[in-house]
Structure 1
Amino acid sequence: MKFSILGPVEVETDTGEKVTPQALKVRSLLGMLCMHAEHVISPARLIGALWDETPPRTAAAALQVYISQLRAGFIRAGASPALITTTPSGYTMRLCGQALDLALFESSAAGAEQAVHAGRPLEAARLMSESLALWRGPALADVRTTPSLDGYAQQLDERRNALHEQRLNLELRLGRHAQLIGELYGLVQEHPMWENVHSNLMIALYRSGRIPECLAAYQRIRRTLQEELGMEPCSRLRNLHGAILAREPWLDDHTRPLTSAYAS
């Protein structure tokens, strides 16, 4: 079976049949178990995630029912009864050879980090791309119904954002600026106030000889920040804009880390 939480919560059998729980609470419970796969998670923590600060008096009993429903559904779909185990401290989801997109993401991201430290940037870029390709939208996208669940999901989203920035910087250092432009335009459309992505777009456009578009990208983020937050862009982005206007030589130096180049 394949479990997915990097996007809406989904479960798929080895034959491609979707067996995702339909009930929201049961699906939310599955998301929590997947996020903490191979670790014991206490009933109190699960109840807090499912009902936040106002659980009903029947929450403990309801949780046991939801666990039973999950187990029964997975057994019908051909999974091992040991997939979800009960311990004195709580519940554990043991993957038992099942695929979980979060585990695959973390494994590929760790491999990418090792490749970076070993001086293998092409391998690192490939592994980062494979990791990011596992995402189908915001984590736990269809079960972020309580502040607790939303907080857990944001933790995962931040891991994705950090890896995304790392990969973009690496791709620029590999001289792949032209190939990145389309992706970067999509990212700034999706995240109109993500300044680091705007800076990557500006550099990619500059190195591709598209100076007017590069300057327009800066004016767009500046206008957005002024209108939405009443703020100017950060000093790093302003420094980059000044360097572009001056056509400073470092802008075409693929080997120089961008953060050190325009941080002053």
Structure 2
Amino acid sequence: MLFRVLGPLGIEKSNGESVKPWAPKNRALLGYLCLNNMTAVPQERLINAIWSGTPPRSAHAALHVYICNLRSRFRELGLDASVLTTQSTGYELRLPHSSLDLNLFEAHLAQARNLQSGGEFEAASVALGAAVALWRGPALADFRELPAFAGICRLLDEKHVYAYERRLQLELDLGRHRELICELYSLIERYPGWEAVYGYLMISLYRSGRTADALRTFDRVRWMLVEELGIEPGPQLQHIQQSILTRDSWVESGADRGVVGAQFSLR
């Protein structure tokens, strides 16, 4: 069974079946406990998270009811109710490491770091691909408007961006620019303001012999930024454009692994 917070909150059974949504307060409670897995969370913090700082007078009694509801749901899913324990300081969710997608993401990320530091670039890229594949949208997308979730959700989103950009960089270093082009176009459609992706696309197109398309990509992002925000592209994108125009050695065919990362970091 897999509890998912890297996207809308969800639970996936071992057979791939998704558990039907629960009541909003129960879901918010479960989401917050998942973010603090293996840590006792004081009742006051849970109450603040569920009611956004404006709890009713009956909040403590209601919280107890929600905890009981979660335990009942866990039993229905075949989990031992003791996975949610009562501590002197509050309540603690004790999901096994492999039962929470956030844990799996962090493990893949750590594995990729070790592999890359050991020169195993292809294996590192595979590990990063596995990390990125766990995401189904913005972290806890259904609770991001709640103040208690906002900060940690932004932090997780930044880790997602970091993992994705590291993988793109490795794929470029491995000479897979042609294979990346379709993926990068898809990413731009989903995240039109993600400047780094335009940079990777420009490099991939240029290395695939499509210089005009690479320069048109710069024109596209420049037009968007000027029209919508009144700003020019950042120095990184401008550097890529200039390097393409002058055919600088670093932006040529990625035969020299790591040149892009060493000479120009998109992260």
Assess same fold via TM > 0.5: yes
Per-residue Cα deviation, 1:181-240 (whole angstroms, up to 9, x for no partner): 111111112222211111111001110111121111101111111112211111121111
TM-score by length of 2: 0.92
1:261 is the counterpart of 2:266: no
Quote the RMSD (CA, aligned, Å): 1.8
Q: Give the stretch that moved more between structures: 18-27 or 85-94.
A: 18-27
Per-residue Cα deviation, 1:74-100 (whole angstroms, up to 9, x for no partner): 012210121111111121111147621
Aligned partner of 2:201 in structure 1 is 201
Residue pair 2:97, 2:104 contacting (<8 A) in 1 also: no
1:94 is the counterpart of 2:132: no
Aligned partner of 1:156 in structure 2 is 156
Aligned partner of 1:117 in structure 2 is 117
1:168 is the counterpart of 2:168: yes
Aligned partner of 2:42 in structure 1 is 42
TM-score by length of 1: 0.93
Structure 2 Cα separation of the partners of residues 231 and 4 of structure 1: 37
Per-residue Cα deviation, 1:43-95 (whole angstroms, up to 9, x for no partner): 22222222223222222222221111001110122101211111111211111
Structure 2 Cα separation of the partners of residues 97 and 79 of structure 1: 15
Equivalent AA in structure 2 for residue 47 of structure 1: I
SS in 1 for 2:41: coil
Q: Percent identity?
A: 43
SS in 2 for 1:167: helix
Q: Give the stretch that moved more between structures: 73-82 or 7-16.
A: 7-16
1:22 is the counterpart of 2:22: yes
SS in 1 for 2:92: strand
Q: Give the stretch that moved more between structures: 84-93 or 9-18.
A: 9-18
Query: Unaligned regions of 5+ residues in structure 2, if any?
Result: none
SS in 2 for 1:67: helix
Query: Unaligned regions of 5+ residues in structure 1, if any?
Result: none
Equivalent AA in structure 2 for residue 4 of structure 1: R
Structure 1 Cα separation of the partners of residues 17 and 195 of structure 2: 41
Equivalent AA in structure 1 for residue 55 of structure 2: P
SS in 2 for 1:6: coil
Structure 1 Cα separation of the partners of residues 97 and 232 of structure 2: 50
SS in 2 for 1:180: helix
SS in 1 for 2:18: coil
